[in-house]
A = this chain, B = another copy of it.
Amino acid sequence: MAVTDRAHAADLDRGDPLGPFRSRFVDAEPGLVYLDGNSLGMLPRATAARLHWVVEEEWGRGLIRSWDAWVDLPQRVGDRLGTTLLGARPGETVVADSTTVNLYKALTAAVAARPGRSTIVVDGHEFPTDRYVAAAVADAHHLQVRGLGADDVAGPTPADVERAVADGDVAAVVVSLVSFRSGAWADLAGITATARAAGAIVVWDLSHAVGSVPVDLPGAGADIAVGCTYKYLCGGPGAPAFIWVDRDRQAEMRQPVWGWFAQRDQFAMGPAFDPLGGAAGWLSGSPPVLGLAAVDEGVGLVGEAGMGAIRAKSEALTALAVELVDAWLGPLGGELATPRMPGRRGAHVSVRHHRADALVAALGREKVVADFRPPDLVRLGLSPLTTRFTDVWDGLDRFRRLLASQT
């Protein structure tokens, strides 16, 4: 059967071991093709129930007496996330603050651990907040920012990093494990080792990687990483982010935003800051309980499905998308802007087109939700727990009809 035949996609859905997971999520709207689970994951039914419980019972009836259920959520949810999805050991991961704030903490700690070096490296194609945080930390510490010169589609390579850190003056490199633009999946171990050989620390941003590709941070020798929970982990709008610090580097790096949630024996309210050991020492203020509860449920669901099954389905989803882009959109001016090798990409696929902005708006009117990423990318997120193969087919079918009608 031809890959362009909808029956082929329907066959893949019937054989999909993760197919039943779709019913664990709230159905948004009949006929909606949601290809944006990498911007905001769908709402798990269990999360809606958990949030109702947290609001009505824990807050409404328990009031401050629910404190014991809340106070260590950053560590508990962090450990669950870390041990399930990052290869982390207990005590290496916490969930709190935004990705931006966590990046700021991580990068500030990294440059402080490399005194005398004057450069931060971040690629020009990196996500805006990563670039802005790099600029902020550079400004505060009188450092310079250097680009990485990575290819916009292939993403950063160890060779790119080797060139960028060659002068021995680089304190830290900020790299996304999966590019928010092309979906390129970077070489975690290779880039970490290359940077380390020149004395630089890599701050990894796992925002588009966690829950979409298998990750083993300790196994790759990584030092520190942050990431987002409202994409593949379905933590809901603005859910708190995570930070992971390798247990062997925790003594070497110190975060800058000291607060009462990082304090040993918090309610002794002692005179001097005396941080908890492990990742808990990277906390700052009161944790957002509603968001944490939602992340807890989302991580549980991803863990239940298993990263093996998720990755297998993800490769098949993106493979179908790549084939349909080539077959249908290529002749109409839509060019694949994602690595073709399955092992080199995450769970989204981007299509380059000079009218990408208008196309995403038009797709929305056809009930296909995708993202525009300037200047010329249509980004299709294929979140494995909620995207059906027929969603990929339907979305790209409507995409090609739009292109055909407009050319």
Taking beta carbons and an 8 Å cutoff, which residues of A are in contact with B? 26, 28-29, 34, 36, 39-40, 42-43, 47-48, 51-52, 54-56, 58-66, 70, 97-101, 104, 124, 127-129, 131-133, 135-136, 140, 228, 230, 236-241, 256-263, 266-273, 284-292, 294, 364, 369, 371-374
* Chain B residues with CB under 8 A of A127: 260, 269
* Chain B residues with CB under 8 A of A104: 256-257, 259, 284
Which residue of B has the minimal Cβ distance to A40? B64
Report yes or no: B98 in contact with A286, Cβ–Cβ below 8 A.
Answer: yes
Report yes or no: A26 in contact with B56, Cβ–Cβ below 8 A.
Answer: yes
* Chain B residues with CB under 8 A of A292: 238
Report yes or no: A61 in contact with B29, Cβ–Cβ below 8 A.
Answer: yes
What would be 17 A-B contacts, judged by CB atoms less than 8 Å apart? A28-B60, A28-B62, A40-B63, A43-B56, A48-B60, A59-B236, A59-B237, A97-B98, A98-B287, A100-B261, A100-B285, A131-B271, A133-B257, A228-B286, A236-B289, A238-B288, A238-B290
Contact of A61 among B28, B136, B270, B284 (CB under 8 A): B28
Q: How far is the CA of A228 from the CA of B288 in the complex (A)?
A: 12
- Other than the given A36-B64, A43-B60, A238-B288, 5 more pairs (CB < 8 A) read A48-B60, A64-B369, A70-B237, A128-B269, A129-B284
Shortest 5 CB-CB distances between A and B: which pairs? Answer: A98-B285, A100-B285, A100-B259, A237-B289, A136-B258
Q: How far is the CA of A64 from the CA of B60 in the complex (A)?
A: 29
Which residue of B has the minimal Cβ distance to A261? B100
A113 CB → nearest B CB, Å? 14
Which residue of B has the minimal Cβ distance to A129? B260
Report yes or no: A369 in contact with B100, Cβ–Cβ below 8 A.
Answer: no
Report yes or no: A99 in contact with B285, Cβ–Cβ below 8 A.
Answer: yes
